[in-house]
Structure 1
């Protein structure tokens, strides 16, 4: 988790420096906003990984310099075989976006489909024991 944190911290630093240089020379706000959002997003992910590392410690083999390759072998976690919720989420976002262009009732319909899909994602494997 520490390596991932440093990776995203490096990305955040890159976007910060690029955003400052771009903001100094550019005269349009769109690029500045995009670089600011990219900095904030990568900074948030870096913060998440550093907090996870601090909570769980360096228990993973990837986080220790003296670890052997064989220590990282074995099951990593639970990965679902298949799910219909990604496609349903895409449909909900598409209908919601079309509603922003064409009609308010499409916004409501897209939001309902999207909410159903998100709740499906969250609770799809609620009874899974993780093993």
Structure 2
């Protein structure tokens, strides 16, 4: 995962340089600067994620040239079975988005299933040993 961290760090650096150049030459137009800033932050987040995983788990078998195929055999990860929480999250996201258009009352109503769905997805398998 070290290579992935370096790759996304390079992407983040590209977006930062592009963002600075765009901010200097675009004049009073802030939308592009904001979009490039968000892209730089998102790629920095991915780089940080891969770096933390590399430090926590070390090299994977596919990162080492002397590794054997058998080292990657067995259970790779836990993949959860079907769940109803994505539907609740989608319903909350739709109501929240419609609330932006039609009014604060619908936005606030949509926040309840959205937050419940996101939290349920995040903590559904908290105690699972995978």
Under TM normalisation by the shorter chain, which class is it? 0.7 to 0.9
In the TM superposition, what is the alpha-carbon distance from 1:127 to its structure 2 partner?
4.6
SS in 1 for 2:43: helix
1:84 is aligned to 84
Give 3-state SS (helix, strand or coil) of 2:125's partner. Answer: coil
Instruction: Tell me the alpha carbon deviations over residues 22-69 of structure 1, each in whole angstroms, 9 at most, x when there is no partner.
Output: 2232231100110011101111221121122123322x2133233234
Tell me the number of residue pairs that the alignment of Structure 1 and Structure 2 aligns: 129
Pairs within 5 Å for 1:36-115: 36-58=37-59, 60-115=60-115
Partner Cα separation in structure 2 for residue 14 and residue 73 of structure 1: 37
Q: TM-score, normalised by structure 2?
A: 0.84
Equivalent in the alignment of 2:10: 10
Residues 7 and 82 (structure 1), Cα distance of their counterparts in 2 relative to 1, 3 Å cut: farther
CA distance in 2, matches of 1:65, 1:47: 25
Instruction: Extract unaligned runs of 5+ from structure 1.
Output: none
Q: Please provide the CA RMSD for this pair.
A: 1.9
